[in-house]
Amino acid sequence: MSIVLTPGAVPLATLEAVYSGERAVTLDPACRPAVEAAAARIAAIAGGDRPVYGVNTGFGKLASVRIAADDTATLQRNLILSHCCGVGAPLAAPLVRLVMALKLVSLGRGASGVRPQLVALLEAMLARGVVPVMPEKGSVGASGDLAPLAHLAAVMIGAGEALVDGRRMPGGAALEKAGLAPVTLAAKEGLALINGTQVSTALALAGLFAAHRAARAALVTGALSTDAAMGSSAPFRAEIHTLRGHRGQIDAAAALRRLLAGSQIRESHREGDERVQDPYCIRCQPQVDGACLDVLRQAAVTLAVEANAVTDNPLVLSDGAVVSGGNFHAEPVALAADQIALAICEVGAIAQRRIALLVDPALSFGLPPFLARNPGLNSGLMIAEVTSAALMAENKQMAHPASVDSTPTSANQEDHVSMACHGARRLGPMADNLAAIVGIEALTAAQGIDLRAPLATSPELARAHAAIRAVVPALGDDRYLAPDLQAAAALVADGGLEAAVAPDILPALGADAAEAAR
């Protein structure tokens, strides 16, 4: 069954389904009349005498050069081929599919002036598994993601390269293998394909989805660490957080309360605990993780709007005017990506401090050094903590805002650019690092819970503990640990850890594109 996209009202959950699966993707047929009307308007302009940017003129700094009607198709083809300047590794196939879906949504708004057959070819490529090879580098986020999107458009005209059934081949051969034919681009169609923020937006969305999964998992591992360290649940009381009022903080505290409810470990030290306050990494989890959740939710709203936006140029407006503007400038995506990067960095930073707490006998309230069963002879999780510190430091280094690093391009015509693609692309490696950090916390916290036996953790955390132990056994004598870290990171990244607890405990992302776009 195909995923149907309604331009202007596509929720993030639908885009996540496109990203995580291989189902066919189609546009709501109701958008076709608007697409046809805009295409007719562009065709009329192309046959007339009045110069209109991108229709019968050159591009960028060459906008003053008039193009004859007979050269329209050549102009568009040359545009695509000349802009295929991407470098670096190809974007992963799920990301490319998301880019294609986002381009469909944008074109389906009926303001780009492309013919329905162009939309139909994109739909067919998605349905039949034709995945253009799109190098990851080359975009500065204005005027859109020109270089990577040109590699997508190249396949549509029978050039470039694509994957079919996992095999890389020339674009024309890929279309033929899928039973499709390349298109000859009409006026403005090449420009409509390569102007736009779809690559930056897809990368940012992928980073957002991964960051949110890891942040939810960090609430689970944070609760496990709190119990393993015999920390207090008093700082999670509801009134503390309602007195401050931040939604994310309130939601994070509620999740921690429910996760810890019924813990025998907690009950064992509720009376007579000599510690007045726990370290911040335990006590301030709602304030830190909740603030990061708020940032992710705000970024989700921005990206929901952008995913439904028309971001090429010029645009066919409702009164028939064709006007050159700047919707291709990806500043909203760049700022959202920078926000996501900061949230990823901070969730990892506080999780890493909980790992450090648990392996330090001076702080862990009776747990053995490095959580080793026989410390001295065994090093336990000593270097797992060091690895988490290395990953935390790497994320800090990558968290510098990309959006402040504009540089003029295209002979100073494009004199301020967003760097959104850079900012969004680094989210993938950062989210991978975060999943590994939270995975290491899962190992240290689970080991700490084991060492508190016969006292048991809460019912919810027992399920999380079981999920961890299903992929990584308890640590006795020292063993080769790299596979354990890899398995724990995968448990976080794939959503397995958050899925182990009741589905209504962990905070949702909460961005609906239909509402956000209004």
Residues 210, 335: Cα–Cα separation, whole Å: 18
The helices-and-strands tally (H runs, E runs) of the chain is: 22, 9
The answer to whether the Cα torsion of 391, 491, 499, 495 is positive or negative is positive
| Rounded alpha-carbon distances, angstroms, from residue 298 to 15, 151, 337, 339 | 17, 31, 11, 9
Tokens of 183: 């298109």
The answer to whether the Cα torsion of 332, 337, 342, 343 is positive or negative is positive
Place of tokens 């596979």: 483
Residues 419, 403: Cα–Cα separation, whole Å: 6
What does DSSP say about strands 135-137 and 130-132: parallel, antiparallel, or unpaired?
unpaired
**Cβ-proximal residues to 507 (8 Å cutoff; 6+ apart), any chain:** 216, 219, 248, 251, 252, 255, 293
**At 70, is the secondary structure helix, strand, or coil?**
helix
What is the torsion angle, in degrees rounded to the nearest 10, for the CA atoms of residue 331, residue 27, residue 95 and residue 179? -140
The closest of 380, 345, 396, 371 to 449, measured between CA atoms, is 371
**What letter represents residue 356's amino acid?**
A
Asked if 53 is an active-site residue, the reply is yes
Place of tokens 């070819």: 121
Contact 135, 90 (CB under 8 A): yes
Place of tokens 């503007």: 325
Contact 497, 442 (CB under 8 A): yes
Residues 100, 271: Cα–Cα separation, whole Å: 59
Residues 134, 153: Cα–Cα separation, whole Å: 10
Catalytic residue, candidates 19, 53, 280, 480: 53
For 446-461, the DSSP string reads HHHHHHTTTS---HHH
The closest of 165, 157, 170, 163 to 76, measured between CA atoms, is 157
- Residues with catalytic function: 53
